[in-house]
A and B are shown apart, each in its own frame.
Chain A
């Protein structure tokens, strides 16, 4: 389904939603604050409602202003939706994250930039979930060797992977 949001043309498809099952399991399997890099039509509402009832802290960062009008509605006492000017310089709160979800599109070399974000956050996150891990930059195995625990969900494309250096992944 093709939709137009201000100046952004978007084809809404099932492919945007393949993270849902893993996200739900990991939200339930983790404790503590959640960091979402790249808000989404599907992931942000899901994370919001799974956290909101029990006031679990959630931060969503997004740079696409066309999405911000939708995402900003989810701001609450426990959910902070933050507009990003530059993914290279953005600073996240220096806290220990129960879960990080990486699904942002920082332009060129986005796979490398997602990997950089994961490596930057690995020491202060129990679990890191990354969407679109079937992409070429993830295939050679070098990146995955940075983590003690790994789980790849490959039942539908795009794939979803979960990494941790701190806790075993029980999925």
Chain B
């Protein structure tokens, strides 16, 4: 479905939503702070309401100004929205219970998978679980990247795929 946001054409499709099952499950299987790398029309509301009642800490990072107003409406005592110009600005000092990586860096849209892999490796050791969307992209390959992690789970039920990696804990899926 093609939608117009201001002057920008945006296609809303089922493909943007295939992370939902895994995200719901992983949020419910964990209890600590969550970092969302790349806010979304679908993931940010989902994470917000999954965390809201228990005031679980949630930080959403996004670099696309188009989404700023929508995302800003979710700011609360426990949910921060941080607009970034540089993805190196994210908080890697906190140990995150769950990280969700689904960003499309606006200044490097041709290398999304490469940028995401760099982000995931930066998060390695700093998050119990890392959930990654769009891992059917051939840039992930079949082995080398995944070998960086002790535990790996691929949800291939629908495309785009979603994967979960961890160096700390078996993946409860």
CB within 8 A of B1: which of A12, A48, A70? A70
Cross-interface CB contact of B3 among A3, A17, A20, A24, cutoff 8 Å: A3
Tell me which residues across on chain A come within 8 A of B67, comparing CB atoms. Answer: 1
Q: Is the CB of B46 within 8 A of A53?
A: no
Q: Least Cβ distance of B79 to chain A in Å? A: 11
Interface size counted on chain B using CB atoms at 8 A: 32
A13 close to B (CB within 8 Å): yes
Render A1-28 as a binary contact track against B, CB cut-off 8 A, 1 for contact. Answer: 1111100000011100110110010000
Inter-chain contact B21/A20, CB cutoff 8 Å: no
A2 contact set on B, CB distance < 8 A: 5-6
- Main SS of chain A's interface residues? helix
Q: Tell whether, in the assembled complex, residue A50 and residue B1 are in contact, meaning their CB atoms are under 8 Å apart.
A: no
In the complex, residue of chain B having the shortest beta-carbon distance to the beta carbon of A27: B24
Q: In the bound complex, how far is the Cα of B79 from the Cα of A14, in angstroms?
A: 13
B5 pairs with A45, CB closer than 8 A? no
- Beyond the given pairs A21-B53, A42-B45, A74-B14, 19 more chain A to chain B contacts, judged by CB atoms under 8 angstroms and listed by A's residue number, are A1-B5, A2-B5, A5-B1, A12-B41, A17-B48, A18-B49, A20-B45, A24-B24, A45-B14, A45-B17, A45-B42, A48-B17, A49-B17, A49-B20, A49-B24, A50-B21, A52-B21, A70-B14, A155-B53
Q: Which B residues are CB-close (under 8 A) to A41? A: 12, 41
B50 within 8 A of A: yes
A145 interfacial by beta-carbon distance below 8 Å: no
B residues whose Cβ falls under 8 Å from a Cβ of A: 1-6, 10, 12-14, 17-18, 20-21, 24, 41-42, 45-46, 48-50, 52-53, 66-67, 69-70, 73-74, 157-158
Residue of A nearest to B12 (CB): A70
Q: B46 to A20, Cβ gap below 8 A?
A: yes
User: Could you list 26 A-B pairs, sorted by A, with CB under 8 Å?
Assistant: A1-B5, A2-B5, A3-B3, A3-B4, A3-B5, A4-B3, A12-B41, A14-B48, A14-B74, A17-B48, A17-B49, A21-B50, A24-B24, A42-B42, A45-B14, A45-B17, A45-B20, A48-B17, A49-B17, A49-B20, A49-B24, A66-B1, A67-B1, A70-B14, A73-B14, A74-B14
